[in-house]
Every structure is written in structure tokens, then in C-alpha cells.
Amino acid sequence: MKRLFPLSFLCACALLLTLSCNLREELDRFNDVKIPNWQAEIAAPLVTMDFSIQDFLDKFSTGGFFEVDNNGILTIVYRGQVFSSRGREIFKSLDLKNLPVIFHKSTIPVSFSGNARMDAIHLKTGVLSYSFTAPAAGSVRIKLPTVTSGATVMDQTIAVAGAGLQTGSFSLDGFDLNFNNNTFPFEYTVDGDTAVSLTGMTLSFETLKFNSVDGYFGNIGFKLPLDTINLDLFSNFQLGSIIFDDPYVALNIRSSFGMPLRAVADTFAFKLKTTGEILPLSNQLSSGIELNYPRLPQKGQFATTQIILDKNSSNLSQIIAGIPTSFYYNFAATANPDGDTGEKNFILDSSYFAVDVDVKFPLKGKITEFVVNQDFVFKFNSYDQVDHARLKFITENQFPLDVALQVFFMDENGNATDSILTWQQGTNTITGKLILAAADVDANGRTIGSKEEVTYFDMTAERIAKLKAAKYLRVRGAFATLEKGTKTMAIYPDYRVAIRIGVIGGANIPIGK
């Protein structure tokens, strides 16, 4: 039997050599194959915006703020306030100096500025000074029956060491100086003898600081400073108009002066944006108005006078139509305009009167293409590989307003590099279609739920590049009340608009060659 091992071994070697040559050729051909890019698809949210009308309008730099009125309607308020002088500044000095004393018992007359009649001065602090020439050593007793501290009467004894000029003083802290038709009684004795007289005797009430004074103070005049309220309500408006249904100016005048006051508005005018003129606001204050004031039982309290000036009692509608930018006002007042009626006046050292001025715009009216802006920060540069995309807008509108939207891509310098939509100014539409239709309203004008819209926008590679470079989005909204801005509607604080923007796109990502 023959051995075949050498032959089969040689055949195996030949086969392996052939296969090895073929494998090398296949590997060489595989290295030349070009693998296509990976077609990646993405879907991701870009930005979510939820805002109220306050977010669009709350850019006040001059003190404006929002409040809700008694009807629940959102109201824009601008407030100013001016104060009169304090009581202590009106009677800066009540000092009575060098009052001569002639008799042992005297009724000494006094006078005050402005021909005021003082019935009582209730002192915080003060000093009673005296001066006289004594004939000999002894004692001098002085008594002022109407200078009292509770049940205590001013009754002092002065020790005199010898003949000659005598001076000194007593504290009046906490005492009341009571007068009768601007006079007060005074008496003195020398060593208990009314037959011995002093010469050159004078009294002085000095450095008097009062808690309050009572009497009749004549026609004291007050001049309040000129003040300005800047109305920046329209500073964020780009186009369009808004007609407020019932704007008004509210005056709240508070006085703690216990006397009649007649107030007059010396200046009461708006500066208009449309013409640049300063137009006075017609009002009853031009001829003067009597203010409420506290009576003696209300000493230390305030009485309030409220005045409302609206479209029915003034020319405010004409002023609002001219777009007011500033309101100028100042007041003057005169005390006791009808003279002395027999009613006692009083003034505390802290007394004053103040005027609070509110210019109010309840958000109820008609709006026609009322355009405002709002900025939102976002980042799209994390999607560097995206080269084709669609933007998906989901909007919900709770307002009884049609809202047309435009979205701008803004660079770091505040310049718009592109926009998503075509803005059709004057038509309140975007690409012929409202993005946010007004919510339905009930019989009372309140909205019922919200209206939702879903809109898609295709983005070219060029526009995607601009979107990636943008630092923030500027949303521009054009508001209009129903029936093309002819229907009156009210805005309530719970109304909101929600916008969600997402991207659906793809990217060609190279994975080999």
C-alpha cells in the first residue's frame, strides 16, 4: 500500500497559498470603499415662553406699577406725591421776648405773626426768663395763673441777695401757655408785700418748642412744590393705538391741620407726544376746593379728600388721544378762607397735608395693531451638525385679543440678523395667518379657556446658521381686540400667552471614508 501523505500535504499548501492571495486582493478592494454619512434625525425643544401682558408692558423706569381695580381689571398706575410744610415750620418761632411788667397784677398783651390768635401753646420745651432791678435783698414771688402743667401753676420764688439787677430763668418743659384774646395774667410780690415795686421788670418766653397750638391762625398760605410724573407707558409701543375706555386721575388729599383749607391747583397739565404741547387738565381745582380737616376730637388724625377726574369730568379723553408723556402739577392752599367762624384751629408740630396723585389706566378699551417687544435668551449652537430643520410653534392664547407674532434672531449688538416670518404691517397678520387667535369670551367679556395653534416653518441651511449665531430671540406681538380692534375688551391679571418652539431636523454626520 502506497503512502499519500506527501501529496495531500502539498495540495493543502497550494490551496492556502491561493486563498491568501485572493484575501489580500479583497482587503485591498475594501480599503477603497467610501462609506456614506450617517443621516441623524433630532427633535428637541428650543425655548418655552409664558408671559402675561405685565411681562410685555412692565418696563417702567419712572415708578409705574400694576394693580387690580375693584372690578378685577388689570390697571397701570403712575403715582406722585407732594407734601406741605410741617406745623413746626409754619410757626418757626413763638418766642415772646421782653414783655414789660408794670403792676403787681398785670394783664400782659402778646402778639404773634400773621395776626394769629393763640388760645393755648402746649409746650415740649421752653424757658421763662426774667429781668428786674430789686431795691434790696429779700425774695420775689412770681405767679402765672394760666401757665400750667396739669394741675400745677407756674408759681416760683426768687431769692434776691441784694439790691440791683436780677436775671434768671425757669424751665417751661411740658407746660401749657393759655391765653385769653392774646393776653395772659401775671402777678408778683416782694417779701409778700404788694406795696414794694420792682423796676424795669420784663419777661421772655424763649426757645419754645410746641407739641400743638390752639386758636385762630388767620389766612396761612401753603405752597407745595412742583412735581412731575413721567408716563413711560407708551415707551415700549412700536406701532398701533390703544383707546382706554376709562382712564382717570385720582387725587387723595390728606390733612392733619385742624383748620379749614382751600386748595387750588396752580399747575395741572400733561405734555403730549403727538404735538409737544402742554395741555391743562380741566378740573374743579382750578377755582379751589374745600378740604376735609380733623376737628378737636380728632387731633393727631388725618382727614381725607378724594377727587376723581375722568372723561366725564375733564378733558382727559382729549389728552390721552395725544399720548401723554409727562404730567406736571403743584398745589397751593389757604387756611381759613372764610375768616374766623368761631371754630378753634389747631396745629401739631408734625401736622401737614399731602397730595397723592395717581394717573390710572385700567386695561379696558380698544386696541388696533398695538405692537410691543419681548426678548428671550436661548441657545441653538449645541446643534452644530444640524443642516436642515423645521421649527414647530405651539401657541396658546388666553387673551380676548388676536395676537400676530414675529420672531427675530438677534446678535450680541442688538441687531436682527433674520426673522422667522414675513411681517405684514398694517394688516395685523403674518404670512396671511394669525398665529394666536383670540380666546372665546362669555357674555361678561371674560375669556373661556384658551386657543391653541400649531404651526411649522421650514429652515434653510443659511437661516439655520443665523439661528445658531443668535444670542437671543425677540418676540414682537401685535395685539388687536376683536372685530378688527373695534370691540371693547378688558384685560385681567390671569390672562397669559404660552409659546413653545421646538426643532425637528437632521444632520449629515461623516463616519468614515
> How many C-beta atoms lie closer than 10 Å to residue 185's C-beta?
16
Could you say which architecture CATH assigns to the domain 92-216?
Sandwich (2.60)
* 311 contacts 337 by C-beta, under 8 angstroms: no
pLDDT attached to residue 474: 84
Residue with cell 390768635: 117
Tell me what the mean pLDDT of segment 189-198 comes to: 90
- Mapping DSSP to helix (H, G, I), strand (E, B) and coil, where does residue 504 land? strand
The answer on pLDDT for 414 being more than 50 is yes
* Of the options 2.60.40, 1.25.40, 3.40.50, 2.60.120, the CATH number for the domain spanning 74-84+224-362: 2.60.120
346/258 Cα distance (integer angstroms): 5
The answer on pLDDT for 258 being more than 80 is yes
Tell me what the mean pLDDT of segment 82-110 comes to: 92
Can you say how many angstroms the Cα of residue 287 is from the centroid of all Cα atoms in its chain?
29
Domain boundaries, the chain: 40-58+367-509, 74-84+224-362, 92-216
* 248 contacts 309 by C-beta, under 8 angstroms: yes
Cα–Cα distances (Å) from 442 to 242, 445, 447, 448, 489, in that order, read 23, 5, 6, 7, 12
Hey, which of 16-25, 255-264, 502-511 has the most confident mean pLDDT?
A: 255-264
pLDDT attached to residue 238: 53
List strand residue ranges (DSSP E) for 63-191, in order: 65-68, 74-83, 96-100, 105-109, 117-134, 138-149, 152-160, 164-171, 176-178, 183-190
Average model confidence (pLDDT) across the chain: 83
Tell me what the mean pLDDT of segment 435-456 comes to: 86
Cα–Cα distances (Å) from 216 to 107, 185, 343, in that order, read 20, 20, 8
Please work out, in degrees rounded to the nearest 5, the angle formed at the alpha carbon of residue 96 by the alpha carbons of 90 and 99.
160
pLDDT attached to residue 252: 96
> How many C-beta atoms lie closer than 10 Å to residue 16's C-beta?
10
**Shared fold status for 40-58+367-509 and 92-216:** yes
Least confident among 30-44, 194-208, 409-423: 30-44
DSSP structural state of residue 237: B
Residue with cell 475594501: 30
pLDDT digits (tens, 9 = 90+) for 366-403: 877 777 777 777 666 656 666 677 888 888 989 888 88
Q: In this structure, which topology does domain 40-58+367-509 adopt according to CATH? A: Jelly Rolls (2.60.120)
pLDDT attached to residue 428: 42
Residues, the chain: 513
Question: What is the SS3 string spanning 8-63?
Answer: HHHHHHHHHHHHHHHHHHHHHHHHCCCCCCEEEEEEEEEEEEEECHHHHHCCCCCC
More confident call, 449 vs 183: 183
Grid cell for residue 480:
388687536
More confident call, 383 vs 453: 453
Least confident among 161-165, 323-327, 405-409: 405-409
Q: Which helix (H) or strand (E) holds 289?
A: strand 289-291
Grid cell for residue 86:
410741617
Listed residue (328, 332, 225) closest to 277, CA to CA: 328
- Per cent of the chain over pLDDT 90 is 45
Grid cell for residue 207:
426757645
In this structure, the strands spanning 416-419 and 423-424 are unpaired
pLDDT attached to residue 432: 42
Residue 60 pLDDT level (bands cut at 50, 70, 90): low
Listed residue (267, 262, 313, 265) closest to 289, CA to CA: 262
Hey, which of 126-135, 386-395, 479-488 has the most confident mean pLDDT?
A: 126-135
pLDDT attached to residue 139: 96
The answer on pLDDT for 211 being more than 70 is yes
pLDDT attached to residue 374: 75
pTM: 0.74
pLDDT attached to residue 154: 97
Buried b (16+ CB within 10 A) or exposed e, 285-317: beebbebebbeeeeeeebbebebebebeebebe
Tell me what the mean pLDDT of segment 122-145 comes to: 96
Max Cα-Cα span within the chain: 183
154/261 Cα distance (integer angstroms): 36
